[in-house]
Amino acid sequence: MNTRTILLSLALTLIALPLASAASPGTFEGSGDTMSALQRGTYMSFVGIGLAFVATAFFLFMERNDVHRDLRPALGVGVMIVGIAGFQYNLMAESYLFDGSIPTDFRYADWFSTVPLMALCFPLVAGRKAYTNKRLFDLPGLSVPGLIMIGAFFMIASGYLGQVELDAAIKAGTDPASIHWYWFAQGMLGYLGVIVIAGTPFTGAYGLDDTKVTDPSLRTALSRMRKLILVGWLIYPVGYVLGAMGSGVEEMVLAYNVADLVNKVGFVIIVWHGVRNAESSRALAHDMEAGFHTLAHAEDKQDDAPSDDLLAIAAMSRGETVEEPEDDL
């Protein structure tokens, strides 16, 4: 185990220990009110999902050497996605445990980082050769990765503004002003922008040309990634609507937590499976295996060869003179 792996293991342990140690309290530390079953389940979802993110980040990091160099950036971004989410879920668990408040700022700090990174995985998996000029819109100086990240930022920024309005109304116990629906609609426009650029399993993409992706494993990965964001990302607006309709804080928070688990872990595993089974990665694995066999064979031959001392003893037994090597000194 090399130094980088040891350091990463220590870092992940430091993240995981607060999550595990915080799992025992049964009351809100701030107000002292006893948790209901739904509140306890919500809190435990923060803890369990956070640990799942940490475990996934560690797994992806350990798998990086089995992926071809050209595809490692996609796997590295996957590590960042679940690593950031695991750290933020630690903070959200502590915030929710303190007084049962909605951890919107922590959650959107996570989403502002991880959602654009998820969008970035599409061009990273497809490769630069798959970029196309078939776009509905263009911005100066931005290629496909830039465009898809701008759409993701727009979606999250609009969602945050609407969520702040909604949280304030929930805290005050009043009906939210209609302005939050405007921001909700703006966020959905950003979502459609990402869908248009990345594509869907049923339509072409205005940014990526699948016909230029020659590897079947990568094409399959792109299709699965598109299915996930087409369906999985819709869990988020469902949670928002639950909160807006007065279903309760826990219902909204649980919907967001489930959406994060499904979309982040599922997404990065799809990316890992695609790049791990790509033809270039299989060729790399074959070359590494062949290299190990060659090295092992060479070591066996070296072990079978007589040493210099044995040769000297054999020469002396035949009455031959053995010359000592001159010292370099």
pLDDT in tens, 238-283: 999 999 988 788 999 999 999 999 999 999 999 999 999 888 766 7
SS3 for 204? coil
Mean pLDDT of the chain: 79
pLDDT at 7: 47
Structure tokens given for 104: 């919107």
Q: Where is pLDDT greater, at 304 or 73?
A: 73
Cβ proximity of 284 and 68 under 8 Å: yes
| Of the candidates 313, 128, 117, the residue with the CA atom closest to the CA atom of residue 208 | 128
Residues 71-89: tens digit of each pLDDT: 899 999 999 999 999 999 9
321 band by pLDDT with thresholds 50, 70 and 90: low
From 128-132, 255-259, 307-311, the region with the lowest mean pLDDT:
307-311
Instruction: For tokens 């931005």, name the residue.
Output: 142
Residue 129 is given by DSSP the state G
Please state the rounded mean pLDDT for residues 50-57.
95
**Which token pair is 101?**
């408040």
Instruction: Give per-residue burial for 51-89: e unless 16+ CB within 10 Å, then b.
Output: bbbbebbbebbeeeebbbeebbebbebbbbbbbbbbbbb
The whole-number pLDDT of residue 228 equals 93
Kindly report whether the global pTM for this prediction surpasses the value 0.85: no
167-182 mean pLDDT:
89
Domain range 3-277, its CATH number among 3.50.40.10, 3.50.50.60, 1.20.1070.10, 3.10.110.10: 1.20.1070.10
pLDDT for the residue numbered 140: 58
For 25-87, the DSSP string reads --B-TTT-PBPPHHHHHHHHHHHHHHHHHHHHHHHHHHTGGGS-GGGHHHHHHHHHHHHHHHH
